[in-house]
Amino acid sequence: MTSIGPSTPTAKELADGRAHRDAALAFRPYWWEAAPRPQISDDELPSETDVAIVGSGFTGLSAALTLLRAGRGATVLERNEPGYGASTRNGGQIGSGNQKFRVKRLIELRGREKAEALLREGVRMLDYIEHLIATEAIDCHFNRCGRFRGAIRPEHYEAMARDMEDLRRLAGVESFMVPKAEQHKEIGTDIFEGGSVLPNDASLHPGLYHAGLSKRIEEAGGKILGRSGVSAIRPMNKGFAVTTARGEIRARNVIIATNGYTDGLVPELTRRIVPIGSGLIATGEIPEAVFSALMPTGRMYGNTNRVFYYFRAAPGDQRRVIWGGRQGRLASPTSLRAYRHLARDMLAVFPALATVPITHAWDGLIGYTYDEIPHLGRTGSGLHYAVGYCGTGVSRATYFGHKIALQVIGDKSGKTAFDDLTFPSFPVRPVAKRAVPVVETWYRVRDALNK
Ligand SMILES: Cc1cc2nc3c(=O)[nH]c(=O)nc-3n(C[C@H](O)[C@H](O)[C@H](O)COP(=O)(O)OP(=O)(O)OC[C@H]3O[C@@H](n4cnc5c(N)ncnc54)[C@H](O)[C@@H]3O)c2cc1C
């Protein structure tokens, strides 16, 4: 008798909790198919380096590349395999401006002048990543495809229209509104009450972008060492002694680039960053006739809820949907239960995907800050850091990595509008961490009640 193995679950089976427990689904980022995990180098840890960088995501790699291009040395130290963190797990959506706040709110919090400076720098971050990818010739499907943001309620549409106008006036960000009656030109769903389009927003393949940065660093003589978790950093005469899983390395400077994976290494940062889980699923290939009606303009997509979901097509001619949102609570990241809600949200927007298989599901950690603003600077003991992108970090981590490296070498162009911001700590960080699911449930209730 032929035995039939577990099959790949359909979106509907996953959403309904009917998928077989042993269903054939890969619990790893879809991006790792085109950018397989790198071999971990057996190279010995050098006894010294110019700048030691802790963490091998976009922040760490961008910092390393800037240092190397400036003729300085860099060694990237990574606890797991290179690129283990959010940088190869994200949705690859790249925005302009500061999407965490409405412009009005940012002005209330920071004043008009500062708000304008922060927003304009947000636009420069998008330009910078485009410039870097072009000058370093990194083949990673970078595309200024634009972003559509669907209004969940009519009031959201009105508020978004006002905000887009403020963003244009203050930071020169181009956008246009799409009323519900014309929405099908942008997206094949009736669930939204119209939406906004930021035509200059962009997308990329995070795995290929990370692999491209890594290649350029190695070509320039930099080292990226996996399985080199840093457990202690001790100030010493003219620099630091860094204790890693491969031994000790001395460095003139150290950059901490651990974002959502920040542990107890630097207590000053541990108190200021809360890791928040986020999940994604990828569908199998979708028949052309169905696929072409879903996202006819091929943009990035999201909604206006506090508990946000976002989605896109996979780059190239794959005809797959990549769908992201919050992490499933109280479920292991390698259990189907952790991704049910993502399939449910996806089918609410695109019911035609019910019979499409789900081939990949994965999670990652976002680094959240108390004021929802990323921070870079120097700790009391002289360590440089760049962290806290609050879930929008593809361009921001790249840019902050670049800027913090310039600050390390004392280059005046390392100055940013973020330099003089106080970096608040969470009042009681262990409680803040445990409170995340409660806060999220509260946001869901408020979304439902439209409060
Ligand atoms: C699921 C998900 C989806 C996202 N989607 C988007 C998106 O669509 N658009 C967008 O703009 N942003 C998105 N983001 C955010 C974005 O991916 C991150 O902001 C960005 O990748 C952060 O890069 P990083 O280099 O600072 O940190 P990471 O890439 O997280 O790297 C930090 C690294 O530090 C290592 N590390 C930690 N402690 C130590 C130690 N003691 N010693 C050595 N190494 C250590 C970790 O292992 C990790 O590899 C998403 C994030 C997640 C998790």
Report which residue type is found at 428: V
Tell me which of 40, 56, 231, 255 to substitute to probe ligand 1's pocket, judged by most ligand atoms within 8 Å of the beta carbon: 56
d(CA 93, CA 393): 9
Give backbone dihedrals phi and psi of 306, rounded to 5 degrees, phi first. Answer: -70, -45
Q: What is the DSSP string of 353-386?
A: GTTSBEEEEEEEEEEE-TTS--EEEE-TTS-EEE
Residues with CB under 6 Å of ligand 1 are 54-60, 77-80, 84-87, 89-94, 229-230, 257-261, 263, 265, 278, 280, 324, 364-366, 389, 391-394, 397
Task: Report the separation in Å between the CA atom of 442 and the middle of ligand 1, taken as the mean of its atom positions.
Answer: 26
Residues ≥6 apart with Cβ < 8 Å to 409: 67, 70, 72
| Element spanning 441, H or E | helix 429-449
What is the DSSP pairing of strand 202-203 with strand 93-94? antiparallel
Round to whole Å and give the CA distance between 277 and 375: 20
| Token output for 363 | 């999670």
What lies within 8 Å, CB to CB, of 389 at 6+ separation is 259, 366, 367, 374, 396, 397, 400
Which residue lies with its CA nearest to atom 33 of ligand 1?
55
Structural tokens at position 252: 């003139």
Question: Each residue of 52-65: b (16+ CB within 10 Å) or e?
Answer: bbbbbbbbbbbbbb
pTM: 0.95
Q: What is the side-by-side order of every strand in the sheet holding 300-303?
A: 176-178, 195-198, 147-150, 300-303, 310-313, 321-326, 274-283, 358-368
Considering only CA atoms, give the Rg of the chain. Answer: 22
Domains of the chain: 38-274+367-438 (3.50.50.60)
* Tens-binned pLDDT, residue by residue, of the chain (451 aa): 444 557 899 999 999 998 877 778 999 999 999 999 988 888 889 999 999 999 999 999 999 999 999 999 999 999 999 999 999 999 999 987 566 789 999 999 999 999 999 999 999 999 999 999 999 999 999 999 999 999 999 999 999 999 999 999 999 999 999 999 999 999 999 999 999 999 999 999 999 999 999 999 999 999 999 999 999 999 998 999 999 999 999 999 999 999 999 999 999 999 999 999 999 999 999 999 999 999 999 999 999 876 679 999 999 888 999 999 987 766 788 889 999 999 999 999 999 999 999 999 999 999 999 999 999 999 999 999 999 999 999 999 999 999 999 999 999 999 999 999 999 998 765 555 555 555 555 555 555 555 4
Asked if 80 and 283 count as a contact pair (C-beta separation under 8 A), the reply is no
Task: Give the integer Cα–Cα distance in Å for 124 and 132.
Answer: 12
Q: Give the Cα separation of 242 and 248 in Å (integer).
A: 6
